[in-house]
């Protein structure tokens, strides 16, 4: 029991020390690190989506592309110009909301990949694990960043995933639903990456047209 308490105390101290170190780092440097992680996150989701699409394109039903992503209700900028007009706090809030919304769907994808009928199943599984890790570290980084940006940046919109844990019982249905989730993920990681790049640009005090 004493050992568990000691171990827990050490862990708490490590977290406190890491948080203190991050508070000492300029916010521009933290945004630069976050932007690098979001760039990798989007790159991985794009690679996975492209890989799956090559084998599932012919299976999409006529109305399949009309399905809505579970994050579609979140009002986000439609283009770069609109993004540049959003405040720093709101951009951080949007990025964190989207990232949080993918915690459960990423787990569903990870748990389903072992039963996926695809020639690159092993590679997909490995990349999903890497994607989850980048998502977790980016979330931790944005939690710290938002704490330094004020209450507005810390607000998160609730975007629950209600798609369930079962992507389908047959090969085609599972492939199509798996690919649909990945296409939504690629869309949202692009938004997250765009928001963080604008925040990094503003922190560096660059001209808007250079962002």
CA angle 189/51/35 to nearest 5° reads: 25
Residue 17: HSE in the Cβ half-sphere, 13 Å Cα cutoff? 6
pLDDT score for 208: 65
Contacts of 211 (CB under 8 A, 6+ apart): 80, 84, 197, 198, 201, 202
**In the chain, how long is the greatest CA-to-CA distance?**
62
Residue bearing the bigger pLDDT, 209 or 133: 133
Domains assigned to the chain = 27-210 (1.20.1250.10)
Mean pLDDT of 33-56: 88
pLDDT score for 55: 61
Which of 163, 23, 155 is closest to 95 using CA atoms? 155
Answer whether residue 38 shows pLDDT above 60.
yes
Tell me the Cα Rg of the chain: 19
Between CA 73 and CA 110 the distance in angstroms is 24
CA angle 78/82/83 to nearest 5° reads: 90
- Note the pLDDT tens digit of each residue in 78-118: 888 899 999 999 999 999 999 999 999 999 999 999 888 88
Answer whether residue 74 shows pLDDT above 60.
yes
Contacts of 172 (CB under 8 A, 6+ apart): 59
Answer whether residue 28 shows pLDDT above 70.
yes
Mean pLDDT of 133-152: 93
Between CA 152 and CA 91 the distance in angstroms is 10
Question: Where does the pLDDT of residue 65 fall: very low under 50, low under 70, confident under 90, or very high at 90 and above?
Answer: low
SS3 16: helix
| DSSP label of 166 | -
pLDDT score for 172: 85
**142 with 95: CB under 8 angstroms?**
yes
Determine what percent of the chain is predicted with pLDDT higher than 70: 82
pLDDT score for 121: 86
pLDDT score for 115: 86
Answer whether residue 58 shows pLDDT above 60.
no
Question: Cα–chain-centroid distance for residue 108?
Answer: 14
Other residues' Cβ atoms within 10 Å of the Cβ of residue 117: 11
Answer whether residue 14 shows pLDDT above 50.
no
DSSP assignment string, 157-180: ------S-S---SSHHHHHHHHHH
């Amino acid at each position: 029991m004493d050992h568990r308490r000691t171990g827990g105390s050490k862990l708490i101290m490590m977290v406190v020390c890491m948080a203190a170190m991050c508070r000492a780092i300029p916010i521009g440097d933290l945004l630069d690190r976050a932007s690098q992680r979001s760039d990798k996150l989007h790159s991985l989701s794009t690679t996975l989506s492209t890989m799956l699409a090559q084998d599932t394109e012919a299976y999409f039903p006529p109305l399949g592309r009309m399905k809505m992503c579970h994050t579609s209700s979140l009002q986000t900028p439609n283009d770069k110009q609109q993004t540049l007009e959003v405040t720093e706090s709101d951009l951080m809030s949007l990025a964190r909301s989207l990232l949080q919304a993918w915690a459960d769907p990423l787990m569903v994808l990870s748990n389903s990949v072992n039963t996926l009928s695809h020639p690159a199943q092993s590679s997909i599984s490995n990349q999903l694990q890497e994607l989850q890790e980048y998502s977790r570290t980016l979330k931790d980084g944005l939690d710290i960043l938002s704490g330094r940006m004020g209450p507005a940046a810390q607000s998160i919109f609730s975007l629950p995933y209600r798609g369930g844990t079962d992507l389908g019982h047959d090969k085609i249905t599972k492939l199509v639903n798996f690919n649909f989730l990945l296409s939504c993920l690629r869309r949202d990681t692009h938004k997250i990456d765009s928001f963080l790049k604008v925040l990094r640009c503003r922190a560096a005090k660059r001209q808007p047209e250079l962002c």
